Chains A and B, each alone.
Chain A
Amino acid sequence: MAEEDGDHQPLRGSDPPDQVLDTVLETVLQFLTCRQDRNSASLVCQSWHRAEALTRSELFIGNCYAVSPARATARFPRVESIYIKGRPRFADFNLMPRNWGAHFRPWVSAMSRAYPWLEKVYLKRMSLTNDDLALLADSFRQFKELELVFCEGFGTKGLSEIASKCRQLRVLDLSDTEVIDDAMDWISSFPEGETPLESLTFDCVECEINFEALEGLVARSPSLKKLRLNRYVSIRQLYQLLIKAPQLTHLGTGSFSQSENIQHLDDNQDLDYHSAFAACKSLVCLSGFKEVMPEYLPSIYPVCANLTSLNFSYTNINPQQFRSVIVHCHKLQNLWLLDTVCDEGLQAVAASCKDLRELRVFPVHPDEDIEGPVSEVGLQAISEGCRKLQSILYFCQRMTNEAVIAMSRNCPDLVVFRLCIMGRHQPDHVTRKPMDEGFGAIVKNCRKLTRLAVSGLLTDKAFSYIGQYGKLVRTLSVAFAGDSDMGLRYVLEGCPRLQKLEIRDSPFGDEALWAGAHRYYNMRFLWMSSCRVSRLGCQEIARSMPHLVVELLRYEEEDAPFVEEDNNNFSVLYMYRSLEQTRNDAPESVTIL
């Protein structure tokens, strides 16, 4: 309680002690970075609520429709970086109409007025146009970082706006994002002279780039640490970039093969790729290899020993070719693979990568009913060799409970367990029993598990296990599983931390939907497609829960012949909590109850 010092402080409307409190509070709260802590702090009292709002510089919007841009910018006036998520994950698999929503426009418009000092934008599964990018480039003088993941709707014209106008741009990362070819040479749009660029990721951009311009850009970006090229960059061109940027820590190699247009005989002479890689002493993360010529793989041996992250998930190589690389990678923590490496390759991983934290195995032939190259053998090997495993995504054609149980015991630190047995309703390959016990063991033994994706033949028993033991599970993905409403009820009643629940083609209906009503305000969203919920059931929920947005989506595309267009006339139920009224940007195929 400071004494009023009349000489220095003119009396104002709010009293000095109040001011002191607020100032102290703001100064202290500035140090809170974790958003969950901030949310808690904001609930203490009005004073804290206000101070927290004034000091929050990083804003995370988990669902772009849960809150409006107006409300967000009104509450948090001093945001410097924003993270917005749009569509739910199942939209990635063509289960949602393309023009469903998640537009960046209203956000960038609001922010252009509210946050002129905005520095960072991270968008996931949003739709944005060239105009949106132009507005962004025009509105934010200090703009430094743009990361777009699973986004679409814009083209090289929009990229050009960013490149040319954002003079302080440090990060431009496009991951798994569709970019329309507007025939615009966006690489040339970067300004002349030295750039502050630290990270440039365009490995998903499916159009040619001006290589000469790229070379020049890399040469004048001394801070560049992360460079991920698209498949239009040949290995020769990669060489030319590497010798200019040996300071790189993260590299996406592009095609890693010869360009198809070999114009000169000289091109047949191989450059010293080995030395070029050897010069990159700081390289820790390697990806790309989109059209790999395996004979060039040995050139990466010099960097293998330092690698903590390797993405071979577009790399079609056989077990022997893979083994000769992986034996050098003792420090590896993140590994993404294509299943062409077979169980044998996974055994090599188990032998060499004792520090492995994350593994993803993708299928080269994502079909059902074929012989797959990886199986329970690979999973078992990994569980035995990589005891520190925290996250796994594994696509396979066959699996056994035994292997899954083994993993649950050998890898107790698992936080993410996603197993996709690609044949629907596939039982244990050996015992022909459902996969209930395997997944049951995972939830029982992996006490830190927060994300789970199940597959194979599963009865309600599996769900009873999840409800009983999966107390920390936040995200659950279910497909073609369960017997009855009880399955869903076990989960809704048993998992208090459940935030995101995505279900397809499972026999869960209105009763189960009702059983979870007490949960929905505490969840990010619920997705149910091709299940047994009826329009009536959804209407009941919508009526009794005013802050829940209940969307019914119809398929329009001819690609979905299997969808039952019964008298319910919808295929997807997508519901989420929201502070706002019904959105007005939904297409015709969406009915909001």
Chain B
Amino acid sequence: MVRPGELSVDSSTNHLRTPSRTVTLGRIQPQAPTYRTVYCNDRDSNYLVRLKCLHGNSISTTKYNVFTFLPKGLFEQFRRIANIYFLGISCLSMTPISPVNPITNVAPLSMVLLVSLIKEAFEDWKRFQNDMSINNSTVEVLQDQLWVPIPWRKLQVGDIIKIKKDGFFPADLLFLSSINPDGICYVETANLDGETNLKIRKALERTWDYLTPEKASEFNGEIQCEQPNNSLYTFTGNLIVEKQTLPLSPDQLLLRGCSLRNTEYIVGAVIFTGHETKVMMNAMNAPSKRSTLEKKLDKLIITIFCALVIMCLIGAIGCAIVTDRDHFYLGLHKKDCEYRNGLTYYLLVPQIAFFTFFTLVILFSTIIPISLYVSIEMIKFIQSTQFINRDLHMYHVETNTPASARTSNLNEELGQVEYIFSDKTGTHTRNLMEFFKCSIGGISYGCGITEIERGIAQRDGLKIHEEQRSTGAIREKGFNFDDPRLMRGGWRNEPNPNLCKEFFRCLAICHTVLPEGDESPEKIVYQAASPDEAALVTAAKNFGFFFYRRTPTMVSVRESHTEQMGKIQDVSYEILNVLEFNSTRKRQSVVCRYPDGRLVLYCKGADTVIFERLASGMDDVRKVTGEHLEHFGSSGLRTLCLAYKDLNPEAYDSWNERFIEAKSALRDREKKLDEVAELIEKDLILIGSTAIEDKLQEGVPTCIETLSRAGVKIWVLTGDKMETAINIAYACNLINNEMKQFIISSETNAIKEAEERGNQVEIERVIKEEVKKELKKSLEEAQQYLRTVGGPKLALVIDGKCLMYALDPALRITLLSLSLNCTSVVCCRVSPLQKAQVTSLVRKGAKKITLSIGDGANDVSMIQAAHVGVGISGMEGMQAVMASDFAIAQFRFLTDLLLVHGRWSYLRICKVVMYFFYKNLTFTLTQFWFTFRTGFSGQRFYDDWFQSLYNVFFTALPVIVLGLFEKDVSASLSKRYPELYREGIRNSFFKWRVVAVWASSAVYQSLVCYLFVTASAFDGKNSSGKTFGLWDVSTMVFTCLVIAVNLRILLMSNSITRWHHITVGGSILAWLVFAFVYCGIMTPRDRNENVYFVIYVLMSTFYFYFTLLLVPVVALLADFIYQGVERWFLPYDYQIVQEIHRHEPDSSNADQLEIANELTPEEARSYAISQLPREISKHTGFAFDSPGYESFFASQLGIYAPQKAWDVARRASMRSRPKAPKKN
């Protein structure tokens, strides 16, 4: 047992380390103050813990179970206002004031509820099956000195289990031992945080031996640890083995959801199971979003409701006027009214009017389309699961990732996006770095031409011949360099071969990369914290300095051509110190000892920091290298400067003492380390610089160009430096030189001066002033440009620090109006929080529809803040995807997602909504007109069943087919004419004007159906002079209505498939069949046999057929004329496009043609880049993604994000262990 005091000490030190909060994926949960004790290998003792976690290791993500399904599901359904409304109507219709049988309202409502519940049940069933398959996967657990496979769900706290290579951890485990002798294992945490580089976990030395089943069964440690919580990067606890207390850290924790890599097997003890695991505690439901269109739909529904109230008021007033005892046949003078005579009679009239009002509410309740929501839901569900998820155009072959709509609520929102907020890395760029050029000792090497340069040249009208690559040029991942002067030992003949040698050694030694796999140049795999690093090491390999092995103290390099051509020798350098990279230092150094005892410091970093620290007398090289850097930068390359310094052993030793001291400091360790590093990183000798190409994602410039033609404005929000961001913006065609750029940067002199003075309050004031001034000035200028016709487009570049102040409520409006006037906006150096703030600024401030796209954990907040969140799936991990509404594999698939699926969905949903509105209005209005002729009594016009089945049966399917198959123009044309998308941004199809057109159409059609039939049905209607009654007339009207309303679908469809014919014909036929059956039978129940035989009576007259031909034609004629005139005089854009391509067959053939004509991505990219600036920009494009990047921003925000203990980058500095050659 641990003494409580000991644990509290531990937790207090923990508090020192975490001053405020820890970074978690989801909401922050208060940590339970107590701790739990887990007894390993002792199931019985753990009953206390198990009591709390009833389900063991089984998880359940279902919403309902068998018993809660009905109450909970119904409750969910009645949270919708429309369903409540119909429930109220149904209740009202049970009262005697109802003009209709309750079935009229109950039947459709139950139908709608049934469909929704079935859908819920189906989805929940799928979740359940998914859970079951997870719960039933097996894991080997220790039982009686044997590894026995059991299902995951039977796993219990305290169990000792064995995980094999590539297996997933079934629960949160305490890492006990590994087959690797140094007690480490590699885990992939992609499911957790999306990072795909491997992390190292290290078991406590004390437990290394518990590897075999025999030995492991002897293990009887006690684990005292914190209560389950959702903080992924923290863990505190103690392990008590044989009365010895050992502190535990996140290094020993293996989290559920991660998988074991590169390690044969490991053994661990279960600490948290099932829902108590950190990943499950973090499981968050993406916030449910409602589409803007749906919110507008609510407004429409409210308007309809108002119309309903007005109609009922008219009816009630009319009733008060008309109702009259003189109509003796109504029996008003009898019984119930007998005692009311004389004066009281006048009290009766308002009473009757009052009840009539509610009678009419029930009667006209059909004006609100009950099946609208459920139909839309069905349509959207099919759209997302069948169309978006299965679109071959959005399937990425290389990563084997199809698109995935994670919610079906937002399909039509995709058709109205006006602002896209995009992350840069991994979204625009592949985060795939290639070593492209370098400069050594003032000589520039590398003859490749970047795509950006090619673009510039092309725009200048120069033709670039693809230079013949020298034979045997190597091209591999991370390396795209060609220059015979350096390759294959050619550097030996260069003016400065020694400097070249230092250059290559610096590349091969000064890094924190971890080699994996076979130690041969072909098979080795470099694990690096940033892809830049891997590219540099790969470059060294190709230059003949093959880094193949790292131990905590050694770096082994296989060097060729050093002494003489062709000679190969393995050299091991002892790594004495690693001075890590961070974003303030902007550099990284390694102190190493050659086998011959030479002590060297290698350093690489940003040009500015390196140049400051050079030894004197290097001005020439420095100047030339500086020029090269500028050139590289303007070509869109990311640069780093390399330098070295020979160290004097005595000086080094004294420095090393101070270093060790700093390293073991308990307070401000980082700061002290930085200070110590400054002491040695000086008087450097410049070697040269590297230039790395950050490959753009395939098709990004084309996609961006297409989207901007579509009227979508793209903002780039990135954590990168301003220069890098601008570079990429140029490369992506977001900014070009014709644009007027407003740059608001915190790197101005005034701010710098203030910063040097160091007074926080003053700094803030100065920055605020500066930002305010800049914003005001820019806005004025922008407005001036906008007033002039044909002025340049505008672009805004702003950095995170300025943004912080610009987002201040006082300046927010200025920022917003400035940025809304700009075509492109680039925000650099922004934190995840700021990304979200900018997104909400536009979303809430400008009321525009926004979309955020990103791939990493730092994009989550932005993705959730926007109307639509899109995650890039496939390459990186799951974090962004889990928070997103749609996941696509590539940025370029946005074109398909927005221009094709979004536009179609928008169009379809608009049409569906309008059609629902129209068909219910038409139906209800015939009833309304009839009310005028019944003395406003609220008599129903149609039979109960006709009325209840109208919505759910006779007109339900065609509109769903419309919602699924409606296409104005084909997919390829949608992409070819991106401007068509603007109709969605302008919301052309869901305006009040459109509503008014449909409403007038409904008024007209209902009048035609009602008046024509009633006017002509007056006298004897067959040759034997018999007359029609009420139900004959109403059935006639109903028949005409069903036909007209169903045919209207065909008139409004732009593409009529077989399904249109089947459903439209089927609906009309269904009505007739229903009428034949329903009119042909007498039901045994007591009801008025109003419509008995009516249809047969009707069909026995010629009148029926004459009317049936006339009325629908007349009803649709007005719409036909309207459409004809509108198309001719005020054509929509899509109609013109239809006409342009009216003779083209629309099928996959056309698509194939399209693809054949399309430029290859490479060509397209170079074409797009041809819009790049002519003059050389002055920035040098330093960029070096640091592993500590996130924590840097977090600390700026006052949030402490602990350094991830398993970062590969830190692996090199782990010197705690005695030298032990790594077995492989």
**Interaction A to B:** no
Binding site for A on B (CB under 8 A): none
